[in-house]
């Protein structure tokens, strides 16, 4: 029988990732950039007990393979949100599920009756709402972003804090709506900055909102080092910590736009345009490239009084005795035709 992708693979692969436990070079890796490169896999990365519970339920129901990433540093943390059906009193819960010391022959846990609950794969969560800037994160750095946002709120700076929860697929609609609202975005994670998953988000933000953002989008990630040291000082210097995130978020919100907006560019008298990365003067005034406004490249007509360099075809139209060599013909055909002002 020939198989053509007509069967499901309902498998969940769960593994721990990330730093925060002083696990040194072998036990502090972040592999989400590798995981999101695997075709057909869905990747989830919760940072709260409730999200972990809900995403695990969705992963078990998912017909496709799911990679369930657990943050080592958050495994022993207690969430503020209760799982539906969980007792409000922690002592009651311990008496129900914690095994006693000594003889456990006749002991059985009494699991609470949980209600139906699931977190959809591919849906992010807005943890804080603001209008000045946006920060997008997941895993260990997400709670640090929330703490930084709360600290900045006392200074009058309010952030949209987005927890991705799912990395493949990810909730781009939520990210895009927040960028349109705030005009500033910072992506934060602890993976190394080279081939970082946040770089994909950064690239997409630049491509889709180049003319809408107030300042350049930013990425705060781990240092490009072979591994994370075991010593707390080395680990703190290798991956973003709370103070680093707070500083980056404060700088992003305080940055002043250093370029004019599109309406200002449209109303300003342009003297030239940029063509292929080279500033070309137009009209009688031959200005230097530094004095030419790059905004005019998208708002003005093509430069006037330009003539192309003669191509290989023009050479062949001259007398045969003066024709260039075969090597020069191949070079002229392979070289893009430049423009020279008359």
Q: Which tops the pLDDT comparison, 165 or 271?
A: 165
Residue 270, pLDDT > 80, answer no
- With a pLDDT cut of 90, the percent of the chain lying above it is 50
pLDDT band at 227 (very low <50, low <70, confident <90, very high): confident
Phi, psi at 215, each rounded to 5°: -135, 170
pLDDT at 52 (0 to 100): 95
pLDDT score for 332: 46
Name the more confident of 342 and 170.
170
Q: From CA 149, how far away is CA 139, in angstroms rounded?
A: 16
pLDDT at 288: 39
Q: What mean pLDDT do residues 221-241 have? A: 86
| Phi/psi at 317 (5° precision) | -80, -10
Q: Which residue has the higher pLDDT, 62 or 1?
A: 62
Average pLDDT of span 207-214: 95
**Residue 9 scores a pLDDT above 50:** yes
List, for residues 22-50, the tens digit of each pLDDT value.
777 778 788 899 999 999 999 999 999 99
What is the pLDDT, as a whole number, of residue 228? 82
Pairing between strand 159-163 and 125-128? antiparallel
- For 164: left if phi > 0, alpha if psi spans -120 to 50, otherwise beta; the answer is alpha
Average pLDDT, integer, range 195-216: 95
| pLDDT higher than 50, residue 243 | yes
pLDDT of residue 78: 84
Given a cut of 60, whether residue 222 has pLDDT beyond it is yes
Distance CA 51, CA 119 (A): 7
**Residue 259 reports pLDDT greater than 80:** no
Least-confidence region, from 49-58, 192-201, 233-242, 325-334: 325-334
- Residues 30, 18 contacting (CB under 8 angstroms): yes
pLDDT > 80? residue 5: no
**Which percentage of the chain shows pLDDT scores above 70?**
74
* pLDDT value at 295 more than 50: no
CA distance 164 to 136: 7
What are 249-252's contacts with CB under 8 Å, separation 24+?
Answer: 249/133, 249/135, 249/145, 249/148, 249/149, 249/152, 249/157, 249/159, 249/186, 250/152, 250/155, 250/157, 252/133, 252/184, 252/186, 252/215, 252/218
Report how far apart, in Å, the C-alpha atoms of 308 and of each of 265, 311, 342 are: 29, 8, 10
pLDDT at res. 234: 86
Determine contact, residues 56/183, Cβ cutoff 8 Å. Answer: no
Tallying the residues shown for the chain, one arrives at 342
DSSP state of 132: S
In the predicted structure, residue 173 carries a pLDDT above the cut 60: yes
DSSP helix/strand/coil, 71: strand
Q: What are phi and psi of 89, to 5 degrees?
A: -90, 120
pLDDT mean over 275-281:
33
Phi/psi for 340 (5° steps) reads: -125, 130
Distance in angstroms (rounded) separating the CA atoms of residues 179 and 174 = 9
Phi, psi of 165 (to 5 degrees): 65, -45
Q: What stretches of 154-287 show up as alpha helix (H) in DSSP?
A: 172-182, 197-209, 232-238, 242-254, 262-267
> What rounded mean pLDDT belongs to the chain?
79
Would the pTM of this model clear 0.75, i.e. be above it? no
**Tokens found for residue 166:** 């799912």
Is residue 167 within 8 Å of residue 137, measured between CB atoms?
no
């Amino acid at each position: 029988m020939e198989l053509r992708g007509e069967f499901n693979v309902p498998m969940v692969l769960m593994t721990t990732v990330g730093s925060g436990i002083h696990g040194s070079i072998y036990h502090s890796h972040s592999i989400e950039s590798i995981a999101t490169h695997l075709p057909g896999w869905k990747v989830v990365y919760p940072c709260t007990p409730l999200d972990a519970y809900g995403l695990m339920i969705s992963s078990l129901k998912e017909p496709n393979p799911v990679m369930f990433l657990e943050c080592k540093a958050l495994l022993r943390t207690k969430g503020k949100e209760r799982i539906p059906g969980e007792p409000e009193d922690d002592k009651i819960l311990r008496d129900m599920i914690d095994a006693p010391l000594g003889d456990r022959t006749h002991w059985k846990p009494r699991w609470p009756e949980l209600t139906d609950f699931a977190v959809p794969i591919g849906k992010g969560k807005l943890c804080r709402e603001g209008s000045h800037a946006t920060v997008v994160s997941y895993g260990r750095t997400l709670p640090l972003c929330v703490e930084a946002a709360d600290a900045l709120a006392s200074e009058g700076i309010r952030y949209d804090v987005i927890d991705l929860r799912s990395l493949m697929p990810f909730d781009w609609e939520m990210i895009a709506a927040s960028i349109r609202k705030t005009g500033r975005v910072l992506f934060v994670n602890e993976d190394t900055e080279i081939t970082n998953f946040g770089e994909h988000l950064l690239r997409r933000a630049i491509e889709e909102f180049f003319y809408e953002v107030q300042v350049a989008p930013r990425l705060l990630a781990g240092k490009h080092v072979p591994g994370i040291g075991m010593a707390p000082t080395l680990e703190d210097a290798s991956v973003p910590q709370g103070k680093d995130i707070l500083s980056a978020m404060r700088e992003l919100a305080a940055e002043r736009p250093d370029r004019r907006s599109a309406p200002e560019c449209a109303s300003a008298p342009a003297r030239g345009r940029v063509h292929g990365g080279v500033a070309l003067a137009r009209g009688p005034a031959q200005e230097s490239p530094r004095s030419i406004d790059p905004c005019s490249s998208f708002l003005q007509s093509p430069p006037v009084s330009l003539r192309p360099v003669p191509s290989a075809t023009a050479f062949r139209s001259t007398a045969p005795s003066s024709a260039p060599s075969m090597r020069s013909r191949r070079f002229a055909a392979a070289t893009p035709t430049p423009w020279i002002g008359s």
